[in-house]
Structures are given as C-alpha cells and as structure tokens.
Amino acid sequence: MVIKVAIAGPRGKMGKEAVATVIKNENFLLVSVLDSKKDMECLGDNIPIFTSLNLLIEQTEPDVLVDLTVPSAVFEHAMTALEYGVRPVIGTTGFTDLQLDTLRNKVEERQVGCIIAPNFSIGAVLMMKFAQTAAKYLPNVEIIEMHHDQKVDAPSGTAIKTAQMIQQTRTSMEQGHPEEEETIQGARGANMDGMHIHSVRLPGLVAHQQVLLGGEGQLLTLRHDSFDRASFMSGIVLSIEEVMKRNILTYGLEDIIL
C-alpha cells in the first residue's frame, strides 16, 4: 500500500530534505504541503501548497502528516490531524509537558497513531540509550547541546529527552557543591532533576550533543554529531512506515529502532 504523506514546513531546512526524501520513496506519495505563506501555487511535481491544515486534509486526504515547523504551530497541527484521523509524525521540538499529555489523551480518544521524535538520527538515539545505561553507574551528569544559531527552542528536544531517559535509571539528586551560587545567572545551565543542561548556539553548527558522566577520578563522554540533515532522513522514513501500524503515542524512536 502506498502511504499518502503531507509535510508541514516544506521550505525549512528540514522540510526541504523531507520533501525530497518522500518524493523519491516509491512506497510514499507526497499529496500536499502546509506552508505558513502561500507564495507559490504548487511545489515542484505539482504538489499543492495549503496554508490551512483543515483544507489540506479535506482536499488531499493524507494518511500521515510530517511536521517540521516551529514550536508555536506544531501542537495545533498535531491536534487537528488527530481529529481528522491523520497520523502525525512530528520532528518539531519545544513541546510543553501539558501539550504532550493533551496529545496522549487525544491519541487514546481517537485511537490513531502518533510519533513524536525529538531526534530522528540513529546515532543520537544510541547516544541517549547509552547515556541512560551509563547514568545508573555514573549519576553526575552534565548535558551540553550545540546547535546552529537559527534554533528557536532551548534546551533542544534531544537534550530534554536524554535527561528524561536518564531519569529512569539515575537516582534523583542535586549535583555540585551544596552551597554553590551563580555569580552570573544561568552559569550552571538549566537544572532538570539535578542534571544540568547547557545550550550552545553558533553559526556553522548543525546538531551536536555531549553527555558528560563524572565519577571518582574518571569521566565518560558520549558525543553525537549531525553534520548534515541527511542524518535525520532514514528516521523520518521509518516513522512514516511505523506510525501506520500503531494506535498509540510514541515519544522517541528508541522503542522502534532498538
């Protein structure tokens, strides 16, 4: 069966790559795209562009909506898609806990699959999994995520997901000196359950993360680098295929890939 796919954010850095990936996959048919401004009638290959998700769904009937947009738009896109029975595959980051819970309830109510993947690259998923295992033995954790300077959310979705996975194995505790004080606010980064997350934004970067795990006289460093957005494409293909088989909300690709 050919899977009918729509993509939100087709002119973005990720969206462009995803459009090319879906078009060249013979098991998928790109039926439409959702843009914030319709300054073209059609994308190449006569793919219609919509600015209204409702109209896009009613007129082109996709099976799956791939969202690669912005934190301020993605939640509404996902809720609308689920309402229509269209399965979201979401790469966009910046969800609040409340939004994730609301989506989970919506998926349960509609019984329609939804995949939220903070990171589509296999290397990043492995890094998160290895960090989760390591933190059981080395519970002093600092996460340093580094991205291009056009990124709007901080910390990255990958860093948040990494810390959440580590929380499942690490005994909850504060780190550093009990009386430590910041001379400049923010110097110790964000504090998630005692773990510290530091966000670096620089031109020239794509997506990079280090997880530092300290112990007595030792340091374990786990590092992943995406040098090119091609690194995310096989995860998008897998998610489109997998979301068609599921009726639950899947948050993170570790349960699918590993």
Ligand X SMILES: NC(=O)C1=CN([C@@H]2O[C@H](COP(=O)(O)OP(=O)(O)OC[C@H]3O[C@@H](n4cnc5c(N)ncnc54)[C@H](OP(=O)(O)O)[C@@H]3O)[C@@H](O)[C@H]2O)C=CC1
Ligand Y SMILES: O=C(O)C1=N[C@H](C(=O)O)C[C@H](O)C1
- Residues annotated catalytic, as ranges: 147, 151
How many Cβ atoms from other residues are within 10 Å of residue 7's Cβ?
31
Edge to edge, the sheet with strand 87-90 lists: 42-43, 47-50, 28-34, 3-8, 64-67, 87-90, 114-116, 249-251
Q: Calculate the CA 91 to chain-centre distance.
A: 4
Report the partner that residue 138 touches, choosing among ligand X, ligand Y, none (CB closer than 5 to 8 A by kind): none
CB nearer to ligand Y: pick between 151 and 188: 151
Q: Which of 3, 6, 15, 63 binds ligand X (CB under 6 A)?
A: 15
Note whether 224 binds ligand Y by CB under 6 A. no
Contacting range for ligand X; rule: CB under 6 A; set: 41-49, 62-70, 104-112, 137-145: 62-70
CB nearer to ligand Y: pick between 30 and 124: 124
Q: How far is the CB of 227 from ligand X (least distance, A)?
A: 13
Report the partner that residue 35 touches, choosing among ligand Y, ligand X, none (CB closer than 5 to 8 A by kind): ligand X
What length is written for the chain? Answer: 258
CB nearer to ligand Y: pick between 129 and 151: 151
3-state SS of 135-204 is: HHHCCEEEEEEEECCCCCCCCCHHHHHHHHHHHCCCCCCCCCCCCCCCCCCCCCCEEECCEEEEEEECCC
**CA pair distance 232, 219, nearest whole angstrom:** 29
CB nearer to ligand X: pick between 9 and 189: 9
Tokens standing for residue 45: 């290959």
Q: Which of 25, 32, 140, 158 binds ligand Y (CB under 6 A)?
A: 158
Contacting range for ligand X; rule: CB under 6 A; set: 10-18, 107-115, 168-176, 213-221: 10-18
Tell me which residue has tokens 């006569």: 46
Q: Which of 119, 132, 210, 239 binds ligand Y (CB under 6 A)?
A: 119
Note whether 151 binds ligand Y by CB under 6 A. yes
Note whether 232 binds ligand X by CB under 6 A. yes
Amino acid sitting at position 250: T
Residue 12: helix, strand or coil by DSSP?
A: coil
| Site mask for ligand Y (CB under 6 A), range 165-204, x = bound | ----------------------------------------
Among candidates 144, 124, 120, which has minimal Cα distance to 198? 144
Residues 6+ positions from 43 with CB-CB distance below 8 Å: 10, 19, 33, 49
Residues 6+ positions from 26 with CB-CB distance below 8 Å: none
Note whether 6 binds ligand X by CB under 6 A. no
10 is in an annotated binding site: yes
13 is in an annotated binding site: yes
Note whether 235 binds ligand Y by CB under 6 A. no
For the annotated binding site, the residues are 9-14, 37, 91-93, 117-120, 148, 157-158
Kindly list the residues in this chain that would bind ligand X in the complex (CB under 6 A). 8-9, 11-15, 34-37, 68-70, 73, 91-94, 117-120, 232
